[in-house]
Chain A
Amino acid sequence: MVQITRRRLLGAGTAATAGALLTACSSPFDDTTAGGGNVLEFVTFYTGPDGVVMQGIVDRYNEQATGAQIRMSAPAYGGDYLTKLVTSTIAGNPPAIMALHNNEVPPLRRFLHEIDLADMGFTEDDFVAGTQDLGVVDGRRLGVTMSTGPQAMVYNRRLFEAAGLDPDAPPQDAAAFVEAGRALREIDVWGFIREPAAWMPWLTMHWQNGGELLDGDRALFGTDAAVEAIEMERRWVHEDGIAPSQLLDGVQMGQQFEDEQVGMIFIGPWGLAGHIRSNEERGMDFGVAPVPAFFDAAPAVAASSHVYCIPKQRSNDDWVRAEAAKFIEWVVREGSLTWAGSQAPSFKGVGDAVAASDDPVVTAMDTFIDEQPRARYIPYAPRWNQAYTYLTNATQSIVYRNEDAKTLMTDAAEQATAAIRGAGR
């Protein structure tokens, strides 16, 4: 019988601990290039139906690819998305390709490879004007813009008819919008529900009114253009009575639309597929139209952007970079038509195919694609997220609680400016 002495027990414990530590350092299941495999991680924010569409595109790529295989993942989007990318990059284990919004590229600029469109066989003329500028930081192209997400208005055609409105003539300006909202209230549904942040629809209205968000490091939320835009929203709630005074998030807003409790909402193209599916399941009939021109100073609509970037790797960097560039080039050239089922592709080569498609989502995407020339994008500024929080807080107080617009917007601008300028802390 083996006698267990203290020394043997201590030795066994040390060996077990060492074994556990060594195992933790590398996984036998790691098939990425960091683990010696040929799988490239493609991290995106496509968490909804657009994720399903992009996964289909990735699967098609993998079927014909002879080099790397692509594995797509979509961590929940929010403030944490960029955090995960930055921290994984600092830790030396970034994905091979990452999807970013245009204002998320600058914080990662020291970690990204420069990209030459010509190396991929593209020129800027192959894309909707201005979209490829979204990936340029300090004169260096750090990403390729796959698509953008301009806002559009979706409206319930059945509710329009019931309210005595022409479902083929959705409102195109502020007066018609309020009139439609009032008619919808007469049949006991809301005319319009906004998203809780300043993203929809204040940003669009502000730009339409000739406003700008920033002048260098100075926030411009307190200008007349900005105040007039939020005042219009406030009136919708507290004077015109066409929008509720309760704060709803984006999911709740979409649910109210699908439950036919509101006639008009604004969405990005990523929400289109869900509503079309609802149409088919519930028989709701909805239409897509451009966001009305609430002001006439400038044609504008707020848009998101999807810029594909290639981070620098600690190992096998040259090979990963080449394979990642190959994937991006393929996705843009061969995947854009399919991708039009989720977002507005920036590649001009699919324009005719989109118009001729028999996929109802792709066809409806035409409205969003047509909006791209007047799309405006949130600019980058240090601590912009904090600055945007001040803007959101102010707009929420004004719209939901009927507080003074000029004072709050001016205060928000001052706080945002202080935050941006204090980014060196």
Chain B
Amino acid sequence: MSTATATGPTRAAKPRRKRLTRVGMLFAAPFLALMVFLWGVPVVSGFWTSLTDTNIAEGTGGFVGADNYAHLLTDPDFRAALGNTALFTVLNVPILVAVGLLLAMLLNQPLGGRGAIRAAFISPYLLTGAAVAIIWQTALNPLGGNLNQVLSAVGLPEQAWLSTPGEAMGGVVLITLWWRVGFPLLVLLAALQDIPAQLYEAARIDGANVWQRFRYVTLPAIAPVLMLVVLLRLIDSFKVFEQVYLVTQGGPAGSTRVVLQMLYETGFRDFQTGYASAIGWTLAFIILVVTVVQLALTRRRESR
């Protein structure tokens, strides 16, 4: 029996399509239900909580509208935490992406032991935050830690590492670099390996030097992937928590206390879940704005 004509499906085909759609929805229903339960409900509930002054230990709380958000604008703790988070992002993202790109370019060469070198840089990415914290607390111990032993052995002055505000943030950036460089390395390496060799040959024939080949061949070819890596690292940097909470606990003198630590402490140490939810939603909004700006800049660049 024919179910289609030159003008489209017959009327007999429509009930079958409806049936197939219903069956498809039934198959997807468990997953959709889980999504609503595990993601949708908490998101809506969290936003509602941010409009209250709930304290889960006291069992108190009522609707306060946008009071929490208004207070955040003038909260010196939040401003300090946001400033620390921004500082970490500004330091971490360029360094991480640049080092990742350099390592990717190095590993894109026909080097002996390439696999072992690649594994060495990628394997820290598999570690948990707790393991990373233990390793680096030992390494950065200002009295006799591994790094200071190395510095001392080569005649350089030992550093206070995590003991002073400036050095503590530097320490956190260093820890993050070691821990997270594997991701940009892998992704950029894959992008580099996709660049046709003929482009480099053509550039060499045209007399381009190393820097010119990098600027006019490599960078444009990997630009979309590079922008994606930058965007993902930006989002990750705004969400920094483990290496700060476990290594410096936000110190010394609050110099490394970031927004997520403030959120955690407000909600789960002080039990002010209403205010903590507002912090979370504000951070999400900031990340969204940064992401939109980044994407807009990328699209404008591509349209040129």
Chain A residues in the interface with B (C-beta under 8 A): 6, 10, 13-14, 17, 79-80, 82-83, 86-87, 90, 107-108, 110, 196, 244-249, 252, 256, 261, 382-383, 385-386, 389, 392-394, 396-397, 400-401, 415, 423-425
Contact = CB atoms under 8 A, between A and B. Distances in A.
Interface string B221-257: 0000000000000000000000000000011111000
Interface residues of B, number: 37
Contacts of A400: 163-164, 252
B143 interface: yes
25 contacts: A10-B27, A13-B30, A79-B268, A82-B269, A90-B56, A107-B58, A108-B57, A110-B58, A245-B163, A247-B142, A248-B141, A249-B137, A252-B141, A252-B143, A256-B143, A385-B269, A386-B77, A386-B270, A393-B254, A394-B253, A397-B252, A400-B163, A400-B252, A401-B165, A425-B68
A170 to B, nearest CB: 23
Given A246-B160, A401-B164, A424 B53 contact: yes
Contact of A425 (B23, B160, B250, B275): B275
Given A107-B271, A415-B76, A248 B254 contact: no
Given A10-B26, A244-B143, A393-B254, A425 B265 contact: no
A424 B165 CA distance: 31
Q: Is the interface of A mostly helix, strand, loop or mixed?
A: helix
Given A246-B142, A249-B137, 20 more contacts: A6-B27, A14-B30, A79-B265, A82-B269, A244-B143, A245-B160, A247-B251, A248-B142, A248-B163, A382-B270, A386-B77, A386-B265, A396-B251, A397-B253, A401-B164, A415-B76, A425-B67, A425-B71, A425-B274, A425-B275
> What 6 pairs across the A-B complex have the smallest Cβ distances?
A246-B142, A247-B163, A393-B253, A83-B268, A107-B57, A246-B163
Contact of B252 (A107, A196, A385): A196
Nearest to B53: A425
Contacts of A389: 250, 254
Contacts of A415: 76
Given A401-B164, A425-B71, A261 B143 contact: yes
A86 B27 contact: no
Contacts of B163: 245-248, 400
Interface string B137-174: 10001110000000000000000101111000000000
A256 B271 CA distance: 37
Given A80-B268, A247-B142, A385-B265, A392 B274 contact: no
B272 interface: yes
A110 B59 contact: yes
Most B C-beta atoms less than 10 A away, residue of A86, A196, A385, A396: A396
A146 B58 CA distance: 26
Contact of B251 (A246, A386, A392): A392
Contacts of B253: 393-394, 396-397, 401
Contacts of A261: 143
A82 B254 CA distance: 22
Contacts of A17: 30
Contacts of A248: 141-143, 163
Interface in B72-109: 76-77
B251 A393 contact: yes
A79 B252 CA distance: 17
B265 to A, nearest CB: 7
Nearest to B250: A389
B135 to A, nearest CB: 14
A214 to B, nearest CB: 16
A80 B77 CA distance: 20
A400 B142 CA distance: 13
Nearest to B148: A246
B252 A393 contact: yes
Contacts of B53: 424-425
Nearest to B27: A10
A252 B275 CA distance: 35
A13 B23 CA distance: 14
A79 B143 contact: no
A247 B254 CA distance: 14
Nearest to A89: B57
A79 B57 CA distance: 15
Nearest to A13: B30
Nearest to A86: B57
A25 to B, nearest CB: 15
Contacts of A79: 265, 268-269
Most A C-beta atoms less than 10 A away, residue of B23, B30, B67, B71: B30
Nearest to A389: B254
B142 to A, nearest CB: 4
A396 B57 CA distance: 30
Contacts of A423: 55, 270, 272
Contacts of A82: 269
A247 B71 CA distance: 33
Given A245-B160, A425-B68, A196 B251 contact: yes
A6 B23 contact: yes
Nearest to B20: A6
A194 to B, nearest CB: 12
A13 B26 CA distance: 11
Contacts of B272: 383, 423, 425
Most B C-beta atoms less than 10 A away, residue of A261, A385, A425: A425
A86 B164 contact: no
Contacts of A6: 23, 27
A36 B59 CA distance: 29
Nearest to B268: A83
Interface string B261-295: 00001001111101100000000000000000000
Contacts of A246: 142-143, 160, 163
A378 B55 CA distance: 22
A383 B57 contact: no
A245 B269 CA distance: 30
